[in-house]
Amino acid sequence: MNITRLATICTVIFIDLCIIPLTFSELYSYVTCGSVIKLLNNHLKVRLHSHEVKYGSGSGQQSVTAVEDHDDVNSHWVIKGKGGKMCKRGEPISCGAIIRLEHLPTKKNLHSHHFSSPLSNNQEVSAFGEDGEGDTGDHWTVTCSSDYWERSGLVRFKHADTDMWLGVPGNTYGRPISGQKEVAALHYSDSSCYWKTSEGVFIKPSDLPVPTIAHVHSEL
């Protein structure tokens, strides 16, 4: 074997070995089932939020808003599978999957239904259920542009029952939640409907596939 052929083989092996760490790091680039996250609205830079304050109109259920404060514990949400179909802990969430988002402090799910939102007259978004259990109004379809929901990517949430989009129209509440933004479900998807993950605890994939090294042809 001459020097040129040997150099070619060594180059192929070197390149393949170098991409192994990258391959493993990519396994952690997705949002996974069981993760506890904060969702940042990409347009207004506010985080999806809830608290033990009920709407004074509409459904009267627990209100859902958006806040600027990045330290507020009431902005944590747990990613769960569709009702009656648990997702595997640590499993990457596929684009197109139906999920539930459980508000960590109050154990109620992000929910929507045919009530008007209090400020913009869109569709109301609330927090609903007991101990993480609600109904099909808690189901949201993850809409993104790759195979899986990427931690660094933009994502939209389409309400499975009503085909409305989770968004922040821009309206601001007065007392008793002054300065917080209305969250509503919109008939159309615009810039206010794009979200990305910010702070959170991401569960690692439980089963890590072993990366393979490309076959080096002996005829080289």
Task: List, as one string, the DSSP characters of 99-125.
Answer: EEEEETTTTEEEEEEEEE-TTT-SEEE
Quote the pTM value: 0.82
Please tell me the predicted confidence (pLDDT) of residue 176: 87
Per-residue pLDDT at 19 exceeds 80 = no
Per-residue pLDDT at 24 exceeds 60 = no
Please tell me the predicted confidence (pLDDT) of residue 205: 74
* Structure tokens that stand for 177 in this block: 């939640």
Please name the residues in contact with 118: beta carbons below 8 A apart, sequence gap of 6 or more.
55, 56, 57, 58, 124, 182
Instruction: Read off the pLDDT band of 71 (50, 70, 90).
Output: very high
3-state secondary structure string across 45-99: CCEEEEEEEECCCCCCCEEEEEECCCCCHHHCEEEEECCCCCCCCCCECECCCEE
For residues 179-188, average pLDDT: 97
